[in-house]
Each structure stands twice: as structure tokens, then as C-alpha cells.
Amino acid sequence: MTELIDTAVAPLRGPETASAPRVLLAPVTVTPSKPLTPSHLKGLFWADVLYRASAGLTEVTYRYSPTTYFPTEQVVGFWEFLDRTEGDTDYSGATEADIGELYVRHRAQAGRPGADALRPYLEAVEAGDWVHPASRQILRLWSGHYARLGLYDPGLLEHRPPGLALEEMIERLAARGVVLDQRRWGGPVYLDLSADGMPLRRIVTADGRPNYLACALRELLPLAEAHDEVVFLYDRDLDPDYRLLERVLSGPRTAVHRIPIGRVPIDGRITSARHGDWHNHTVDALLDRFGPGRADPATRLGLRLYFLAVLGPGDQESFRADLLAKSRTRATRLLERAAPEPPADPAAVARDLARHRRSHLYVDPYRLTSSLLARSRHTIDRSLLTSVFL
């Protein structure tokens, strides 16, 4: 079994944290094949605030590993397309848009490569730390965006394979009686929760290709059992699969919480990045509205106010540059109101964070961020802003 490498932050509360409950945060992983859009940013900001706030109260593992999902057809199929159509191209100077346009072409093609065409890529991914140069370039660019936006980087550029091989994962599911494996008869593998009234879900095709859910199970089965709480953040469209994951991973010692997040419409329309509708809404385009270079504290806080408190968890509100600008203005005022940062007082920050926990271990990022805008809140603890929002 591959050794698990996880990113965890120790809580801020003091000596008793040696026995603190453990939370696993596992947001949906964005495929490194296109620019980050407002919908992606919304999910990333929600995960970032949830992680940093919850880490102020307990031990949190932030599991976000692009490596885990490379075996999906969405990724290796794109890589095969690039090599077949672009040849030995140098992507080191490519922009997100350059690579994204190729991804749009890939998704628009009529056919899909077969198992034989994808097998060399699957073998390379499973054998070591190989990443296609185009996706490696995207991940490098995203790492720069994370630094510019003040997002915690959970290891975008690290090789972090899942803890279980595909066969090991299937064997674990079989031991629990929740898999229907028809490979011996030339069929696929299904996750079978029909005993719980849930539909069969194919996780491996008849020719051996795993989907996103299979990759998630390879990663999460060994991780979930070592945590008291698992928190999922994901697109609403993926809700059926995450309900299945919730059922599989829940146990006597592990509670699972799902947080579906709506996408951000552009001019009233929600479209996938596979269609290329990111123009004028990439990270660079959004930040260029506020000046070049690293985002200042007001911009970082303003982005979080907008994507969490203003847009909320739903998908009814279209992206509006004017409201984003107003959020940055409000952030400037909040920073001006915040008292000069005193010597660190983890207990005071923890008390403020704990008010937004409800009945779970993690801090609700929407409630916490919205509280900053409450009219009844006359003071803002600068150490809270620094530790969670900047």
C-alpha cells in the first residue's frame, strides 16, 4: 500500500489539543486542464475558510490531491488527445487559456479513445510521479494563483497518490458486501448500495477504466476511518455520487457531512468550463480589476466576502463585477475598524469560531463570513481576519 501523505494543521487551543477530534476536509478536486473560473473560485474560497477556521478548534486534514484523479478518462483522455494532436509540444510558456482551448477541442471531439490508447498513461500514473507537461504547467499556474489570493495550498505540485490500489479498493468494498464485480464475465464494476435503496453506480468500466467515484474511494476509504468527521464540499451536480460516498464512509466513529455548493452563473447561464466560457472571468482578469501583483488584504477579504457571504451556497446570483467591487470596499472598512493586532490570543479566536460550529466539529464558512457583515457586530478581531481570511 502506498504511504499516505496528508496536510494537517494543529489547532490553536493549547495543550489539550493532543486528544482533539480529527476532521477530514475533502473538497472536489478541479481537473488541471483549464483556467479557474468564478465557480471554481467559489469552491476554493469556501474550502479555504472552512479549513483555516476549523483548524483553530481541532485537528484538520485537508485532502486535495490532483494525483488521485489522474486515472480518470477526463484527465488521461485529455493527455492522449494532446499527444495525438499536438505532438511533442513545449507547454512551459503556455497560459491557462492556451491549454483550456485545447481542452475545449478535446471535449468537443465526437469519439473517445479506447482502453488501449489510455493504458500507457494509466500505467505511467500508477508507476510513479509522472504528470503530462500541460497539466503540470496548469498546476504551476494555479499554485501562483493560490499564493496571490492567500489560499492555503494543500499540495498542488506534490505527488500524493491514494492509499489504496484499485484492486485493494474493490476488495474492501467486496468485504463489506457493497460491490458488484462483473469483470470475470467481461462486465464492469458497480458500487452496490441497493440494500439501502440506492441505485447501482458503475465505478470501473468493462475495459478497466475507473471513474471519479472509484478514484475517490481509493483515496477516502483508508482516510475516513482515521477521522471523527469527514466534510465534503462539491458541485451540486455531483450530489448523487456524494450521497453514495456518505453512505459508504459513515460509521460508528465517523460522521460524514455534505456541503453542496452552487456554481456561479455568468450572465444568467451556468455552463461547464469544457465549453470555454471563462473569457474575462479568469483569476488574472478578476484580480486585474484591482491592480497587478499580489492581492492586498482588502482584495483577499473582499473576494471571500463576495464568494461566500454575497453569493451564498446557492446558484441563483450571476457574477457581478460591481458587487465584487463593493465587497472589496466593505472589506477595506472592516480592516479599518479592526483593532490593531494584539499579542496572539488563540482562546479568544477559538471562542469566536466556536459560535459557528452548530452540532458538528467543523466551522460553517458561510455563517462565519456572513457574521463579519452583521450590523450588530461593532468590532472585528484582527487576529481572526489574519488567521482565517487574509
The one-letter amino acid at 389: F
Question: Nearest to residue 52, comparing CAs of 340, 316, 363?
Answer: 363
Report the DSSP pairing between strands 255-261 and 179-181.
unpaired
Report the percent of the chain where pLDDT is more than 70: 89
Domain ranges of the chain: 21-290
User: Higher pLDDT residue, 7 or 73?
Assistant: 73
| Average confidence score pLDDT of the chain | 88
For position 4, what pLDDT does the model report?
Answer: 36
Please, which pLDDT band fits residue 12 given cuts at 50, 70 and 90? very low
Contact 8, 163 (CB under 8 A): no
Q: Do 382 and 338 form a contact (C-beta atoms < 8 A)? A: yes
Q: Identify the pLDDT of residue 381.
A: 77
pLDDT band, very low/low/confident/very high, at 352 (cuts 50, 70, 90): confident
User: Model's pTM, two decimal places?
Assistant: 0.90
**pLDDT surpasses 80 at 183:** yes
CB-based burial of residue 296 (10 Å sphere; 0-12 exposed, 13-18 middle, 19+ buried)?
A: middle
pLDDT digits (tens, 9 = 90+) for 21-70: 999 999 999 999 999 999 999 999 999 999 999 998 999 999 999 999 99
- pLDDT for position 277: 67
Quote the pLDDT of residue 267. 81
pLDDT, one tens digit per residue, over 118-134 is 999 999 999 989 999 99
C-beta neighbour count of 41 within 10 angstroms? 22
Q: Which band of pLDDT confidence, cut at 50, 70 and 90, is reported for residue 340?
A: low
Q: In terms of pLDDT, which residue wins out, 232 or 291?
A: 232
CB 215 within 8 A of CB 66: no
- Following CA atoms 342, 347, 353, 355 in sequence, which dihedral angle do they give, to the nearest 10 degrees? -120
Amino acid identity, position 352:
D
Burial class, 24, CB count within 10 angstroms (exposed 0-12 / middle 13-18 / buried 19+): buried
Question: Hey, what amino acid is at 234?
Answer: Y
Angle at 8 between CA 244 and CA 6, to 5 degrees: 65
Q: What is the pLDDT of residues 294-335, one digit of tens each?
A: 678 999 999 999 999 999 999 888 899 899 999 999 999 888
For residues 356-370, average pLDDT: 93
All three cell numbers of 226, joined, read 482515521
> Domain 21-290 is classified in which CATH homologous superfamily?
HUPs (3.40.50.620)
Please tell me the predicted confidence (pLDDT) of residue 2.
32
